[in-house]
Amino acid sequence: MISMKSFSAVSVDLVMGLILGWGILLAVKGSWRFLIAGILAYLIAISRIGCQAGKSH
């Protein structure tokens, strides 16, 4: 059975993947704002959630 923490992590990864993918599609058309915002949001999420001292590994 999948724990709620794992489900949340997978959900966040899927949403961030959709945002980054949509940003890439818009960047091809000439609009870079959504891609830049998606990259910044991804970096913030990884730095705040993924790299917590004492809780990882």
Q: b vs e for 11-44, b when ≥16 Cβ sit within 10 Å of the residue's Cβ?
A: eeeeebeebbeebeeeeeeeeeebbeebeeebee
pLDDT score of 52: 58
Distance CA 51, CA 37 (A): 20
Could you report the per-residue pLDDT of 23-46, keeping only the tens digit for each?
Answer: 999 999 998 998 898 889 888 877
Specify the higher pLDDT residue, 18 or 3.
18
